[in-house]
C-alpha cells in the first residue's frame, strides 16, 4: 500500500478533481505490474496496472481507492480486474463518488477476496480535497503553508521574510502549488510581497491554479496578480459594499471580483467557481483568522533552523485552550527539506462512509 500511495502521488497537479490513485499487482509477493492515474480523463490506475502486466491471473491488486464500478470516461475497473482473473483486491478506502462507488461489492459478488481499510489514514490524507468535496461539499479544503524560524516567526524584526527557508523548501512550495485549485493570500501579503502566485516548479499543473486575494476593504489595482497576463485567473474577494467600485478598477483585465463578507462566504464563493482545494500562503493575520474560524483543514509548516528572536509571528493569539482540552491534529507527513523541516498536519481526516 505504501508503494500504491507513492505511485499515486505522481498524478499530483494532473488529475484533479479526480483522485490520486496508484495500483500494484502482485503474485507470490512479487510485483508483476504497477501504475498510477496520470492524467484527468485518462486510464485509471488499476486499468493501467493491468495493461502493464501481461498476465494477472491469480494476482493481488493493491490500490489506495476502491476500484470503480462505473462506466465513466473509462470502463469500470472492477470488471477489468475480474476479467483479468485477479483473485484478491486490497483497497485503502471506499470511493465516496456516488457515480463510481461500489466496486468492492461487485468484486465480492464475483468471488474475489476484498480487504478494505489498510492504509486508510494515509489514503484519506492523500486525497483530502477529493474526499471533502464528496463528503462535505460547499467549501474547498483549506491548507495553510507557513515558513518560519524555529521560534515560529514568519519575518525578522525588519519585516524581511525572503527567504527564511532554503532552495529545497522553495522548490517544494512550487510543487505544492501545482496540486491546488487556488493559491490565496491576504491583502497585506499581496501588497508587501506583490507575489505572482504562479507555479514555477517541477510539475506543470493541468489547469493553472486560481490566484485569490482576500482583500476585504483595500485593493491595490497595480499588483501583479491584477495586471499580468494571467489576470483572468485572479479572484479578489471584497466586502459587498465596495464590490462594484473594485470591479471597475480591476475587472477590465479579466479579474473576477466577488462580494464576500467573511471567510466562510469567501470560501463558498470559491466553491461556486469550482475551487475544491485552496492553499493559503500568508500572511500571519489571514492564517490566524482561518485557524480561529475553524476553517483551516491542513497546515504545511516549513521550519528553518534559525532563531529570529523578535519578528512577525506566524500564528497570532487566539482564544485560550487548556492542555486537557487541546485536541491533537493528525500527522500527515514529517520530513527534511534540505536543512529545513516539513510538518504536515490535518485538523481531522475525512473518511467516506464504509
- Residues that bind ligand AOF in the complex, under the rule CB under 6 A: 15, 18-19, 21, 37, 44-46, 65, 68, 72-74, 77, 95, 97, 100
97 vs 340 by CB, closer to ligand AOF: 97
Say which of 46, 66, 79, 281 is annotated catalytic. Answer: 46
141 vs 290 by CB, closer to ligand AOF: 141
In order, the DSSP letters of 5-67 are HHHHGGGTTTSTTSPP-EEEEEETTEEEEEEE--STTS--HHHHHHHT-S--TT-EEEESSPP
Residue 255 burial (C-beta neighbours within 10 Å; 0-12, 13-18, 19+) = buried
**333, 128 contact by CB (below 8 A):** no
Shortest Å, Cβ 78 to Zn ion: 8
Residues 43, 48: Cα–Cα separation, whole Å: 6
126 vs 258 by CB, closer to ligand AOF: 126
Instruction: Please confirm, yes or no, whether 46 is among the known catalytic residues.
Output: yes
Residues 144, 55: Cα–Cα separation, whole Å: 45
Shortest Å, Cβ 71 to ligand AOF: 8
From the list ligand AOF, Zn ion, none, partner contacted by residue 45 (C-beta under 5 to 8 A by kind) = ligand AOF
Binding positions for Zn ion, 11-50, rule CB under 5 A: 44
102 vs 311 by CB, closer to ligand AOF: 102
Residues 12, 206: Cα–Cα separation, whole Å: 10
| Chain centroid to CA 29 | 32
From the list Zn ion, ligand AOF, none, partner contacted by residue 295 (C-beta under 5 to 8 A by kind) = none
- What is the grid cell recorded at 109? 459478488
Shortest Å, Cβ 348 to ligand AOF: 22
- What is the grid cell recorded at 205? 499543473
Residue 262 contacts by C-beta under 8 Å, 6 or more apart in sequence?
A: none
Question: Nearest 5 degrees, angle CA 341-CA 124-CA 89?
Answer: 125
What is the contact mask toward Zn ion in residues 179 to 218, using x (rule: CB under 5 A)? ----------------------------------------
The single residue listed with the C-alpha cell 482583500 is: 215
Binding positions for Zn ion, 55-84, rule CB under 5 A: 68, 77
From the list ligand AOF, Zn ion, none, partner contacted by residue 21 (C-beta under 5 to 8 A by kind) = ligand AOF
Which position's Cβ is nearest ligand AOF?
72
Shortest Å, Cβ 37 to Zn ion: 8
Q: Coil, helix or strand for 146?
A: strand
Shortest Å, Cβ 35 to ligand AOF: 9
- What is the grid cell recorded at 213? 486575494
Helices assigned H by DSSP within 179-329: 187-193, 224-227, 243-250, 263-272, 284-292
Binding positions for Zn ion, 141-180, rule CB under 5 A: none
89 vs 296 by CB, closer to ligand AOF: 89
Shortest Å, Cβ 50 to ligand AOF: 12
Known catalytic residues?
46
> Which residues contact Zn ion by CB under 5 A?
44, 68, 77
Amino acid at each position: 500500500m505504501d508503494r500504491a500511495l507513492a505511485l499515486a502521488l505522481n498524478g499530483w497537479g494532473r488529475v484533479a478533481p479526480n483522485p490520486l490513485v496508484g495500483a500494484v499487482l502482485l503474485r507470490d509477493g512479487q510485483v508483476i505490474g504497477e501504475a498510477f492515474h496520470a492524467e484527468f480523463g485518462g486510464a485509471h490506475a488499476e486499468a493501467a496496472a493491468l495493461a502493464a502486466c501481461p498476465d494477472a491471473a491469480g494476482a493481488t491488486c493493491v490500490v489506495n481507492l476502491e476500484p470503480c464500478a462505473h462506466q465513466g470516461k473509462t470502463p469500470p475497473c472492477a470488471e477489468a480486474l475480474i476479467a483479468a482473473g485477479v483473485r484478491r483486491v486490497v483497497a485503502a478506502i471506499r470511493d465516496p463518488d456516488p457515480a463510481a462507488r461500489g466496486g468492492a461489492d461487485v468484486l465480492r459478488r464475483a468471488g474475489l477476496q476484498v480487504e478494505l481499510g489498510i492504509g486508510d489514514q494515509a489514503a484519506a490524507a492523500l486525497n483530502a480535497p477529493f474526499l471533502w468535496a464528496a463528503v462535505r461539499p460547499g467549501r474547498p479544503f483549506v491548507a495553510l503553508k507557513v515558513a518560519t524560524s524555529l521560534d515560529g516567526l514568519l519575518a525578522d524584526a525588519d519585516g524581511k521574510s525572503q527567504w527564511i527557508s532554503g532552495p529545497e523548501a522553495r522548490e517544494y512550495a512550487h510543487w505544492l502549488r501545482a496540486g491546488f485549485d487556488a493559491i490565496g493570500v491576504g491583502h497585506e501579503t499581496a501588497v508587501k510581497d506583490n507575489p505572482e502566485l504562479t507555479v514555477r516548479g517541477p510539475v506543470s499543473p493541468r489547469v493553472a491554479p486560481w490566484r485569490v486575494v482576500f482583500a476585504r476593504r483595500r485593493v491595490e489595482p497595480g499588483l501583479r496578480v491584477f495586471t499580468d497576463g494571467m489576470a483572468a485567473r485572479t479572484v479578489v474577494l471584497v466586502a459587498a459594499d465596495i464590490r462594484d467600485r473594485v470591479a471597475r478598477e480591476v475587472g477590465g483585465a479579466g479579474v473576477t471580483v466577488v462580494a464576500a463578507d467573511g471567510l466562510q462566504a469567501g470560501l463558498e464563493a470559491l466553491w461556486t467557481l469550482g475551487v475544491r482545494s485552496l492553499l493559503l500562503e500568508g500572511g500571519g493575520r489571514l492564517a490566524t483568522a482561518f485557524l480561529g474560524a475553524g476553517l483551516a483543514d491542513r497546515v504545511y509548516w516549513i521550519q528553518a533552523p534559525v532563531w529570529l528572536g523578535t519578528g512577525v509571528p506566524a500564528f497570532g493569539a487566539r482564544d485560550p485552550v487548556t492542555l486537557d482540552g487541546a485536541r491533537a491534529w493528525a500527522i500527515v507527513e514529517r520530513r527534511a527539506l534540505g536543512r529545513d523541516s516539513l510538518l504536515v498536519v490535518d485538523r481531522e481526516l475525512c473518511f467516506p462512509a464504509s
